A and B are shown apart, each in its own frame.
Chain A
Amino acid sequence: MLWQRLITVMDEVDQIIVRTTFSTILSEGRDFACILTDANARSLCQSSWSTATFTKVYPRTAKVLLDRFPIETLRDGDVLATNDPWIGTGHLPDYILLRPVFWRDEVVAFLGTVSHMSDVGGHPAEIESHDVFSEGLCMPPFKLYEAGQENELAFSIMGANCRVPNLLLGDLRAMAGAAKIGAERITAFLDDYDFDFASLADEILDRSEELMRARIEALPDGRYEYGLDIDGYIEQAHLHVTVDVRGSDVYIDYSGSSPQRQDAAINSAYNSTYATSMYPFKCALAPETPNNEGLFRPIHVSAPEGSILNATFPAPVKARAKTTNNINQVLFGALWPIFGENVQASGGGIWPLVLMGHEPDRGTYLVDMLPHGGRGGMPTLDGMVPVSYPENSTITPCEILETDAPVLFHRKELWPDSGGPGRHRGGVGQVIVFEHVGTRPMVFNLTPDRITTQPQGLDGGAPGRSGRALLNGDELREFPPIHLQPGDVVELQLGGGGGFGPVEERSFEAIRRDVELGLVTPEAVEREYARSTEAAEAAA
């Protein structure tokens, strides 16, 4: 009960962030987390919609921040911060803030936020990059606020190093403001219920660990392997996993994966590999238990140093999600035979896009959109229509984007026939077409996914269709920052998910309904569902 009240406080902080931040990636995209820990930086709870991987990295980062600024030196109103990729979430845009909560003159808890800032300086490229230095300003652990006072030097350095200072500084102030209100709520909570966070943390973490161990224990021991080609950048990359399930422990090893890349920011630092590796286990084994690190104590992750999943400083890491978003698919590929119905085939991926520029009448603008392809099929369900996965975010409405930037959307609609056929079809992807309707060049940054590889099916399901990005009808294959000229038209085709189970097991009813809804065309039924005995009939 009391735990639920703490979650409610975090939900309130979450709401304040949505309502007070400036960049669309936070206020519309919701790419952030807010987390409460005890005084030893062990997580107690987070807001219900917190970005999943952020909540797993955060306790690791908090411990580093507290090594640097020991707890006994902290004052009320201090806010510690960093965006160091190897301390934090693996790339510079994510700022981690930590505010001590004082009660009776003692630090009893920490209120933290992790948020994706839309501008941290650096070159405007998302993927093309040769080292982390060019990707923006790195702030090692520092005090953003000292006893409630803004660190003026830090603010002015950060402001001087990005293109739209109000976005970064405004959002940092908003995050700190939300943390302040959260800290006040926690204090009020403690005034109501004299209460020991450390023993609550013990209980939550131990019980969660126990639960996860019991669930792992129930899985058959053994070694499970899977390899998956992913887009990489221009050149494909390979992810390989070996999972050993032994008693109540799981050992994940990524040996056999590609080496880190020097020419593209698709490298994952260990922290982000670790955090994203937990997700499939949480989904399959303990979806109902509030997320906390106790659950993950039995799960051990290793990746060869210098590989794409354990990249070493100063490797370029800005677009790491292009790689880490596939980790769940590799793990599901290995573990689906023992994970029951809580698994899914590959999806069409997330395609972050950023538009920025300057117009005489509207000034400088910078907007984000986080559209998704279709989701993979599952043992008992078809894949969903485009919906965020494996993280959680919301799509910025076209009406908002058109209000904030000189763009005009021609289409944003489902893409028929893009879902992989199977007993359970992959979800269809979507097509987005927009035009630059301003008067000056616009910088367009896109991080597409699954354009040179297909979203794979599982258990015999067929792959979904690859995506494509086109500029004025010509297919794009490289993604440096593109300078759109007024009148340029961009078309994004975000692929569908892979199917689950053999296509010949798809029911007549399901195929007919797909055709009726226009998600699968009759021609595609003939072409791709031919092995299904009933398919011919359905097409007719």
Chain B
Amino acid sequence: MSTVTDVRSRRRPSRQRGRARFRFGFDIGGTFTDFVLVDIASGAVRTYKTLTTPRDPSRAVMEGWRALVDQADVGAESVEMAVHGTTLITNALIEREGAQTGLITTKGFRDVLEMRKEMRYDIYDLLITLPEPLVPRPLRLEVDERVTASGEVLRPLDLAELEPIAHKLRKEGVEAVAVCFLHSYRNPVHERAAGEWLRQRIPGIAVSISSEVAPEIREYERTSTTVSNAYVQPLAETYLRSIGEQLRGEGFEHNLYLMLSSGGIQTLETAARFPIRLVESGPAAGVLAAVFYGKLIGESDLVSFDMGGTTAKMCLIKDGQAAMASTFEIARVHRFKRGSGLPVQVRSIELIEIGAGGGSIARVDELGLLKVGPSSAGAEPGPACYGLGGTQPTVTDADLVLGYLNPDNFLGGRMALSLEAAEEAIRSVIAEPMGISLLDAAWGIHQVVNENMTAATRIHVAERGADVRRMRMIAFGGAGPVHADAIARALKMRGTIIPSSAGVTSALGFLTAPASFELARSVVGPLKESRLDELERVYRELEDEGRALLAGAGVSEQEMRFVRQADLRHAGQGHDIVLELPYAHLHGVDVERDLQPLFYERYENVFGHAHRHLSLEIVTCRVTASGPVPALAIETEEDTEALPVEQAIRDVRDAYFREAGGFVATPAYERARLTPGATFTGPAVVEEKDSTAVVGPRATVVVDRFLNLIVTFE
């Protein structure tokens, strides 16, 4: 049920300079686990895709490692670096499968977690419910300590108070505990003392303290972040350690890194302490890959579209960059509605994710309307056509019935799809209850899921004020290339880009990221001359922390890069903006002459006006510490022999295009046989081992020198 694809098989392996060196990336998704192995010298990429093994995810990982590293005759010792992304953290939060977690707060504040922001996420729906707090009330315990807003200790922490708490936590079988005291972002002394005491006294219980996890002002958001971190920590630790050990057992000697939601990477040890920073690691990798391809192709404005088995992720890339957000909401309980989930203060790439994937289940709702997703058939039992016991019709089943997918070529032909099972599921669950034909039902499923993704993309893009009509959509993920054509057309975009090995593209994103750490500390107060020394000290401390983390990741001192940022606002304002400081240190920097104009200018750019008569306040100091960007040279061989495009046609089959009047005889190209410069027109399908690209009528496809398909609509 899986396949090795050597997408650069027409290239010579690089043996010129002695021992070959490789990087290994893998992405555990809800349905599939994807792998890439890159030859650092030649840029040659080998890929592998297999079904995720939800009960023991490392099983699929080991399978992929062996398939790529062992069978491909690459010595384990020549793999220099492995980078990993996972949806397991997110899934544990969505499915509430994390640890039994406790919370210790400042006396009088244990219910902050439950009262949230006292806001409703829907004003008119009286029947909305809020997500259950991750820590039930009896496990939210208090100590009588207090630090003030200015960071002074008002009531010292008495460690003896922790004794009965530790006892209770043990008695209740708690596996993780979060500590969140008021104003700890300003002065972490009590949290640190409590954390240390707990780690010593109850060593089996994972401890997360808010001043380490998310040292930012606003008690609810900080508590929510810290609790979420604690909730997934035992699971993350066990799982990450197991993967690390198993890889070592296979002879892998170097560091395993984890991709963060922000697109940076972190060591396994740090990731195990702050697993909440991994919540969006897979989607982040996809965006990095899109950015990478954009640079390669020379398109700096793109919409990336990553559709896997469970969800679809869309992200606007402008000027070669995706926007970053400093908070993120996970596990929304109400149809992905903003405000219905758990907020976490985690720097993440700003993208929109909806429950639309190949495995999304179609149903008829109480009003008799066809609905698709957000629930997914996942890897087990999977779509009906997998023949693994699934009986619910999914998007993949519809795509098969519509002739887009080749039943004999799924995962490179290692897994036969059952057209009969797909038809049966769609007929019995959709067509018959709705009184429509099988074909209309399949087309309906395909259209509804496309509409969902189109609407989500439109909102995401509109929120950023972009005009996508001059852009292309870069599509990847197992199902992305099947659906991108219709979505990009609905958005009136120019066309699409389907990178080679699109089915595993996001795993490639892991290998384009530098080691990177983000550090922040809240320092709320006026931005004035007399505070610059204090701020300089904070920045230095953050940089020192970053330096130590980078050194641990094997980055040499010369290669380290630090960027300072400040969250600033007008005095008295409620929210702030992030400003990059173009200074390595604050000595000789003048607030009025240097910093204020920088702020006003940036503020005016964003909001149209600044209040120049008002002085400034600083809220948070931020430092990004990063290592070098890995050189990933994907190049095409100049001497590749061009093959006539007709030779790439594997067969001609009926595929459904409504605008062309229904089923149309459509050539199915074999991607591996397409060479640079090949040109053909739609309708067409292009098959490779781990995905299929669908091109509708009235479009031209050109294969570029990197073997990407560049599709332009007429």
Interface residues in chain A, defined as those with a beta carbon under 8 Å from any beta carbon in chain B: 1, 4-5, 8-9, 11-12, 16, 18-24, 26-28, 30, 48-49, 52, 166-167, 170, 173-174, 177-178, 180-181, 185, 188, 192, 282-284, 286-288, 291, 341-344, 370-372, 378, 380-381, 384-389, 391-395, 397-400, 402-404, 408-414, 430, 433, 516-519
C-alpha spacing A411/B572, complex, angstroms: 25
Question: Which residues of the partner chain B approach A48 to less than 8 Å between Cβ atoms?
Answer: 338
Known: A170-B572, A397-B217, A433-B108. 8 other contacts (CB 8 A): A8-B458, A16-B607, A19-B607, A170-B611, A378-B127, A388-B120, A391-B123, A413-B110
* Leading 3 A-B pairs by shortest Cβ distance: A27-B574, A411-B108, A402-B149
Q: Does B6 interact with chain A (Cβ within 8 Å)?
A: no
Q: Is the CB of B607 within 8 A of A181?
A: yes
Q: Is the CB of B459 within 8 A of A20?
A: no
C-alpha spacing A147/B608, complex, angstroms: 16
10 A-B residue pairs with CB within 8 Å:
A4-B455, A8-B459, A177-B607, A181-B607, A380-B127, A392-B119, A393-B118, A410-B108, A412-B111, A413-B111
Closest to B125 in A: A287
Q: Does B218 interact with chain A (Cβ within 8 Å)?
A: yes
Interface-side segment among B25-33, B235-243, B391-399, B460-468: B460-468
Q: Is the CB of B108 within 8 A of A518?
A: no
C-alpha spacing A11/B339, complex, angstroms: 14
Which of A9, A343, A394 contacts B462, CB < 8 Å?
A9
Interface-side segment among B130-138, B620-628, B650-658, B691-699: B130-138
Question: Which residues of the partner chain B approach A518 to less than 8 Å between Cβ atoms?
Answer: 137-138
Which of B107, B110, B126, B339 contacts A283, CB < 8 Å?
B126
Chain A: minimal CB distance from B422 (Å): 30
Q: Is the CB of B572 within 8 A of A387?
A: no
Q: Is the CB of A28 within 8 A of B124?
A: no
C-alpha spacing A391/B219, complex, angstroms: 23
C-alpha spacing A433/B608, complex, angstroms: 40
Instruction: Known contacts A20-B573, A28-B574, A344-B126; decide if A402 and B118 are in contact (CB<8 Å).
Output: no
Q: Does B19 interact with chain A (Cβ within 8 Å)?
A: no
C-alpha spacing A501/B469, complex, angstroms: 56
Q: Does B609 interact with chain A (Cβ within 8 Å)?
A: yes
How big is chain B's contact interface, by range? 35 or more
Closest to A285 in B: B124
Q: Is the CB of B575 within 8 A of A19?
A: yes
Q: Does B680 interact with chain A (Cβ within 8 Å)?
A: no
Q: Is the CB of A399 within 8 A of B149?
A: yes
Closest to A517 in B: B137
Question: Which residues of the partner chain B approach A28 to less than 8 Å between Cβ atoms?
Answer: 574
Instruction: Known contacts A387-B130, A413-B109; decide if A398 and B182 are in contact (CB<8 Å).
Output: yes
C-alpha spacing A76/B286, complex, angstroms: 43
Question: Which residues of the partner chain A approach B424 to less than 8 Å between Cβ atoms?
Answer: none
Instruction: Known contacts A16-B607, A22-B570; decide if A392 and B111 are in contact (CB<8 Å).
Output: no
Chain A: minimal CB distance from B645 (Å): 36
Which of B119, B217, B459 contacts A4, CB < 8 Å?
B459
Beta-carbon contacts of B126-163 to A below 8 Å, as 1s and 0s? 11011000001110000000101100001000000000
Which of B124, B127, B182, B469 contacts A282, CB < 8 Å?
B124
Q: Is the CB of A402 within 8 A of B148?
A: yes
Please provide the chain B residues from 502 to 553 with a CB less than 8 Å away from any CB of chain A in the complex. Answer: 524
Q: Is the CB of A399 within 8 A of B218?
A: yes
Closest to A430 in B: B115
Closest to B183 in A: A399
C-alpha spacing A413/B219, complex, angstroms: 13
Q: Is the CB of B572 within 8 A of A173?
A: no
Q: Does B614 interact with chain A (Cβ within 8 Å)?
A: yes
Instruction: Known contacts A170-B570, A518-B137; decide if A341 and B127 are in contact (CB<8 Å).
Output: yes
Closest to B454 in A: A1
Closest to B603 in A: A20
Of the candidates A52, A343, A395, A433, the one having the most CB atoms from chain B within 10 angstroms of its own CB is: A395
Q: Is the CB of B458 within 8 A of A5?
A: yes
Q: Does B429 interact with chain A (Cβ within 8 Å)?
A: no
C-alpha spacing A433/B146, complex, angstroms: 15
Q: Is the CB of A411 within 8 A of B109?
A: yes
Please provide the chain B residues from 598 to 630 with a CB less than 8 Å away from any CB of chain A in the complex. Answer: 607-609, 611, 614
C-alpha spacing A402/B136, complex, angstroms: 27
Q: Is the CB of B607 within 8 A of A409?
A: no
Q: Is the CB of A4 within 8 A of B458?
A: yes
Of the candidates B124, B130, B219, the one having the most CB atoms from chain A within 10 angstroms of its own CB is: B124
Question: Which residues of the partner chain B approach A16 to less than 8 Å between Cβ atoms?
Answer: 607
C-alpha spacing A26/B463, complex, angstroms: 21
Question: Which residues of the partner chain A approach B117 to less than 8 Å between Cβ atoms?
Answer: 394-395
Instruction: Known contacts A19-B607, A399-B182, A517-B137; decide if A24 and B108 are in contact (CB<8 Å).
Output: no
Q: Is the CB of B114 within 8 A of A385?
A: yes
Chain A: minimal CB distance from B672 (Å): 39
C-alpha spacing A517/B607, complex, angstroms: 45
Closest to A30 in B: B119
Chain B: minimal CB distance from A406 (Å): 9
C-alpha spacing A180/B524, complex, angstroms: 30
Closest to A380 in B: B127
Q: Does B220 interact with chain A (Cβ within 8 Å)?
A: yes
Instruction: Known contacts A4-B458, A27-B574; decide if A378 and B126 are in contact (CB<8 Å).
Output: yes
Q: Does B112 interact with chain A (Cβ within 8 Å)?
A: yes
C-alpha spacing A223/B88, complex, angstroms: 56
C-alpha spacing A393/B149, complex, angstroms: 24
C-alpha spacing A364/B328, complex, angstroms: 34
Instruction: Known contacts A8-B463, A27-B573, A398-B219; decide if A388 and B119 are in contact (CB<8 Å).
Output: yes
Q: Is the CB of B573 within 8 A of A22?
A: yes
Q: Is the CB of A409 within 8 A of B108?
A: yes
Chain A: minimal CB distance from B104 (Å): 15
C-alpha spacing A19/B111, complex, angstroms: 27
Chain B: minimal CB distance from A428 (Å): 10
Closest to A389 in B: B120
Question: Which residues of the partner chain B approach A430 to less than 8 Å between Cβ atoms?
Answer: 111, 115
Question: Which residues of the partner chain A approach B467 to less than 8 Å between Cβ atoms?
Answer: 188, 192
Closest to A393 in B: B119
Chain A: minimal CB distance from B319 (Å): 19
Question: Which residues of the partner chain A approach B574 to less than 8 Å between Cβ atoms?
Answer: 18-19, 21-24, 26-28, 400
Question: Which residues of the partner chain B approach A26 to less than 8 Å between Cβ atoms?
Answer: 574
Q: Is the CB of A413 within 8 A of B124?
A: no
Question: Which residues of the partner chain A approach B469 to less than 8 Å between Cβ atoms?
Answer: 192
Q: Is the CB of B611 within 8 A of A397?
A: no
Q: Is the CB of B462 within 8 A of A403?
A: no
C-alpha spacing A414/B137, complex, angstroms: 10
C-alpha spacing A474/B46, complex, angstroms: 76
Question: Which residues of the partner chain A approach B123 to less than 8 Å between Cβ atoms?
Answer: 49, 52, 391-392
Which of A27, A173, A393 contacts B611, CB < 8 Å?
A173
Beta-carbon contacts of B194-231 to A below 8 Å, as 1s and 0s? 00000000000000000000000111100000000000
C-alpha spacing A16/B607, complex, angstroms: 7
Question: Which residues of the partner chain B approach A11 to less than 8 Å between Cβ atoms?
Answer: 463
Chain A: minimal CB distance from B139 (Å): 10
C-alpha spacing A28/B119, complex, angstroms: 11
Chain A: minimal CB distance from B189 (Å): 17
C-alpha spacing A519/B577, complex, angstroms: 40
Closest to B575 in A: A19
C-alpha spacing A341/B609, complex, angstroms: 47
Beta-carbon contacts of B328-347 to A below 8 Å, as 1s and 0s? 00000000001100000000
Instruction: Known contacts A52-B124, A517-B136; decide if A412 and B458 are in contact (CB<8 Å).
Output: no
Closest to B137 in A: A517
C-alpha spacing A399/B138, complex, angstroms: 24
C-alpha spacing A262/B467, complex, angstroms: 56
